[in-house]
């Protein structure tokens, strides 16, 4: 029960019980109300309702900066190291300078909307601003869970629309040219495996020999069980991480020609290791530096992937990751069932594969129409 104590003419002190702390001491909300006793009683009803709903009774003086510090600390235990690094950088560059000094409890949707407008006005892309929005919305949603704020102002803000970039991928003829050009590169096995399996860069750069089966007479198997993460924070380095999702833990099959390429690669790697200094770090990696450590993705792109594109006379705006897009696209064009392609690529679902690679579907629909015509009417389907 709350107490209402008269403290003078038109002045009442309200004491509302909030519970007990870890030591068993009472916690009270105390407020002086100027007015009539009915005003004090109304205040008690409102605050007891808020208390019962788990809402804060007193104004929150925590600033946005203070809260973001706490939220980023919390994220250290729940996101990957690189994700945490980029969350920190994103908030430091685009959110803290404008909103950091504001009281968290007074942050309004218009404040956030104005932030987005200013960022777009400075030339930031819609995609980047959407990343900013995602971080703000997630952080403020956690503040609601912790009952620091009652509502999430970011939930009422519209993030800018973005135009999906057209996906880059090789045509069958371009893929052949790329593989021919890759034969003259010392990383030919890596580039061939990437295009032939659709593995993500962090997956094939973290692949171990013990996770490869090269003994088959018709095909090989790569068992994706871990990935290598190149750390973005100062000092760099690398670490082993779990795959992106449960569907990313998978067995990926590849043709015999790739098996033969990998066997040759293993022989060259062993020969090189014999000539290496004694402090070689044996991580059992299929693709490793001369010291046995994981290869940096940027190094592969700059010194092997881009030069191969140039030798093949292909578009040099292609990214290393586009080898994965090329694999999925070419597999679908070749008639491989979408479910098989989805499982090979480690997608979350077949629906994801069909949605993100819809550029393949018109050709597939035309072929399906011809096949149905032949089945129903014979000949050309007339």
Listed in sequence order, the residues at least 6 apart from 18 whose beta carbon sits closer than 8 Å to its beta carbon are 27, 28, 29, 51, 57
Q: Whole-angstrom Cα distance, residue 361 to residue 333?
A: 9
Q: Phi and psi of 240, rounded to 5°? A: -80, 140
Confidence of residue 381 (pLDDT cuts 50, 70, 90): very low
| Pair 324, 345: CB distance under 8 Å | yes
| Pair 255, 219: CB distance under 8 Å | yes
Q: Which of 86-90, 165-169, 255-259 has the lowest mean pLDDT?
A: 165-169
Q: How many CA atoms lie within 13 A of 251 on its CB side?
A: 6
Closest C-alpha among 230, 231, 188 to residue 205? 230
Q: Whole-angstrom Cα distance, residue 322 to residue 313?
A: 16
pLDDT digits (tens, 9 = 90+) for 283-329: 999 999 988 889 999 999 999 999 999 999 999 999 999 999 999 99
Q: What sign has the CA pseudo-torsion 195, 199, 203, 207?
A: negative
pLDDT digits (tens, 9 = 90+) for 332-369: 988 899 999 999 999 999 999 988 888 776 555 555 55
Going along the chain from its start, the domains and CATH numbers come out as: 3-52 (no CATH), 64-156 (1.10.150.130), 175-313 (1.10.443.10)
pLDDT digits (tens, 9 = 90+) for 97-133: 999 999 998 899 999 999 999 999 998 888 889 999 9
Bridge-based pairing of strands 219-224 and 250-255 is antiparallel
Listed in sequence order, the residues at least 6 apart from 283 whose beta carbon sits closer than 8 Å to its beta carbon are 208, 292, 293, 294
Q: Phi and psi of 235, rounded to 5°? A: 100, -20
Listed in sequence order, the residues at least 6 apart from 2 whose beta carbon sits closer than 8 Å to its beta carbon are 14, 15, 16, 17, 44, 47, 48
Rounded (10°) angle between helices 361-377 and 322-333: 10
pLDDT score at 382: 47
Predicted TM-score (pTM) above 0.75: no
Q: Whole-angstrom Cα distance, residue 199 to residue 345?
A: 7
Confidence of residue 183 (pLDDT cuts 50, 70, 90): very high
Is residue 134 over pLDDT 90? Answer: yes
Confidence of residue 2 (pLDDT cuts 50, 70, 90): confident
| Residue 343: C-alpha distances to residues 99, 143, 202, 247, 293 (Å) | 44, 37, 17, 8, 29
pLDDT score at 376: 60
């Amino acid at each position: 029960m709350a107490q209402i104590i008269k403290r003078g003419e038109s002045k009442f002190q309200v004491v509302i019980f909030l519970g007990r702390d870890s030591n068993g001491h009472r916690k009270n909300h105390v407020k002086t109300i100027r007015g009539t006793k009915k005003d004090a009683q109304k205040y008690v009803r409102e605050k007891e309702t808020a208390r019962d709903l788990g809402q804060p009774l007193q104004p929150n003086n925590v600033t946005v900066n203070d809260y973001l510090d706490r939220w980023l600390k919390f994220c250290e235990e729940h996101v990957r190291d690189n994700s945490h690094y980029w969350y920190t950088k994103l908030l430091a560059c685009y959110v803290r300078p404008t909103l950091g000094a504001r009281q968290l409890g007074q942050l309004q949707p218009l404040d956030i909307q104005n932030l987005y407008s200013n960022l777009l006005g400075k030339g930031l892309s819609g995609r980047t601003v959407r990343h900013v929005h995602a971080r703000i919305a997630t952080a403020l949603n956690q503040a609601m869970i912790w009952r620091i704020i009652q509502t999430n102002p970011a939930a009422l803000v519209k993030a800018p629309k973005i135009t999906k970039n057209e996906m880059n991928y090789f045509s069958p003829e371009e893929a052949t040219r790329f593989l021919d050009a890759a034969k003259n590169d010392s990383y030919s096995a890596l580039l061939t495996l990437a295009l032939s399996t659709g593995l993500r860069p962090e997956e094939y750069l973290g692949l171990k020999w013990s996770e490869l089966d090269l003994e088959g007479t018709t095909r090989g198997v790569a068992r994706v069980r871990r990935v290598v993460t190149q750390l973005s924070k100062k000092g760099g380095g690398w670490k082993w991480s779990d795959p992106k999702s449960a569907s990313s833990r998978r067995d990926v099959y590849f043709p015999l020609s790739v098996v033969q390429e990998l066997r040759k690669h293993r022989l060259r790697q062993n020969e090189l290791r014999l000539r290496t200094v004694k402090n070689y770090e044996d991580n059992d990696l299929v693709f490793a530096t001369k010291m046995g450590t994981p290869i940096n993705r940027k190094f592969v792109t700059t010194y092997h992937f881009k030069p191969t594109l140039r030798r093949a006379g292909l578009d040099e705006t292609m990214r290393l990751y586009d080898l994965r897009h090329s694999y999925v696209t070419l597999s679908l064009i070749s008639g491989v069932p979408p479910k098989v392609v989805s499982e090979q690529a480690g997608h979350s679902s077949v629906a994801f594969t069909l949605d993100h690679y819809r550029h393949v579907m018109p050709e597939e629909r035309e072929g399906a129409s011809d096949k149905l015509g032949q089945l129903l009417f014979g000949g050309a389907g007339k």
